[in-house]
Each structure stands twice: as structure tokens, then as C-alpha cells.
Amino acid sequence: MRRFLLLYATQQGQAKAIAEEICEQAVVHGFSADLHCISESSKYDLKTETAPLVVVVSTTGTGDPPDTARKFVKEIQNQTLPVDFFAHLRYGR
Ligand SMILES: Cc1cc2nc3c(=O)[nH]c(=O)nc-3n(C[C@H](O)[C@H](O)[C@H](O)COP(=O)(O)O)c2cc1C
């Protein structure tokens, strides 16, 4: 089965439900999704990830990320990261 990484960030559960549906449908279509909340950073490593990445994230407040995504957003907004830091990633959101 072709694997991909599936991350979600949710405030009220909708993004998680959508990610779980994608995970179920993936199997039907011959894919295997590794599903994690985006805050579970010990369970995935985007620096070394070679499989496609799908991110399901809701917005809250005034276009703010869910609480579970705040750390992730802060990390990828780090201005000291090289411009090609995530250049290897194939991702959709
Ligand atoms: C308090 C609140 C603020 C919201 N703010 C935004 C927003 O700024 N932009 C947007 O596109 N959607 C906004 N929404 C809509 C949510 O993104 C939408 O309800 C989504 O399905 C929630 O997903 P979740 O259950 O994964 O948190 C907001 C919803 C709530 C309840």
C-alpha cells in the first residue's frame, strides 16, 4: 500500500472527523495513512518525511490556528529556518 502522512489540527472536532474519513477512504483506494494530531510531534518527522503529507486544519478566532497547531505554526514560521527546509515535502492542505 502506498503510504502518506495525514496530520490534523482541530478546535472542535470537525477537522479530526474529516481526517479520519480521509484515513478510511485511503484504505479503500489502496493507500495507507499515518494519522496523527499535529501536536503529536514525536510521532512524525517532517524533516525526514518522504511520503506525501496531507494536513487538515481548521481556523478559529480570526483566522487563527487551533490550539493544538500553535506550536507547529510557530515552528514553521521560524525566520531562521533555511528557505528550502521543507522543499522535499509534497503536501496538500
Ligand atoms: C469561534 C469561531 C471562530 C471561527 N473563525 C473562523 C475564521 O476566522 N475563519 C474561518 O475560515 N473559519 C472560522 N470558523 C469556522 C471553523 O473553521 C469551522 O467551524 C470549522 O468547521 C471548525 O473546525 P474544527 O471543529 O476542526 O475546529 C470559526 C468558528 C468558530 C466557532
Distance CA 19, CA 33 (A): 10
Residues with Cβ within 8 Å of residue 8, at least 6 apart in sequence: 15, 16, 18, 19, 35, 36, 37, 38, 55, 56, 57
| Residue closest to 56 by CA, chosen among 42, 76, 85, 36 | 36
| pTM for this entry | 0.94
Domains of the chain: residue spans and CATH: 2-92 (3.40.50.360)
* End-to-end C-alpha distance for the chain, whole angstroms: 22
- What residues pair up with 35 in beta bridges, in sequence order? 6
Residue-wise pLDDT tens digits, 9-66: 999 999 999 999 999 999 999 999 999 999 999 999 999 999 999 999 999 989 999 9
Nearest atom, ligand 1, residue 59 CA: 17
Q: What is the ipTM of this complex?
A: 0.91
| Mutate-to-test residue for ligand 1 from 59, 64, 68, highest number of ligand atoms within 8 A of CB | 59
Ligand 1: lining residues by beta carbon, under 6 Å: 10-15, 58-63, 66
Atom of ligand 1 nearest to the CA of 62: 8
